[in-house]
Amino acid sequence: MRTMDQNLQRELITAVATSVIANAEELTSLDQAIGDGDHGINMKRGFEAVLTDIDGLATRPLPDALQAIGMA
């Protein structure tokens, strides 16, 4: 089975997390139009937790890491 390079996996997860965190206000604005307006806040909180655990997430097999990120 091929595995992703851990440094690349770390960079990709970090890029997604920082992008979501940077755009949390826009996500919340979009959610205010169709929902309860907390999507950006929730996603920001989750991806901050992802960055806190980046060492563990970068070393897991990618499917496991993605599942953990989704749960966060």
Contact set with Mg ion (CB under 5 A): 36, 38
CB of 52 to Mg ion, least distance (A): 22
17 and 44 Cβ atoms separated by less than 8 Å:
no
CB of 37 to Mg ion, least distance (A): 7
Q: Which is nearer to Mg ion, 63 or 70 (CB)?
A: 70
Maximum Cα–Cα distance across the chain: 44
Q: Which is nearer to Mg ion, 32 or 52 (CB)?
A: 32
25/23 Cα distance (integer angstroms): 6
Q: HSE-up of 22 (CA within 13 Å, CB side)? A: 6
Q: Which is nearer to Mg ion, 6 or 32 (CB)?
A: 32
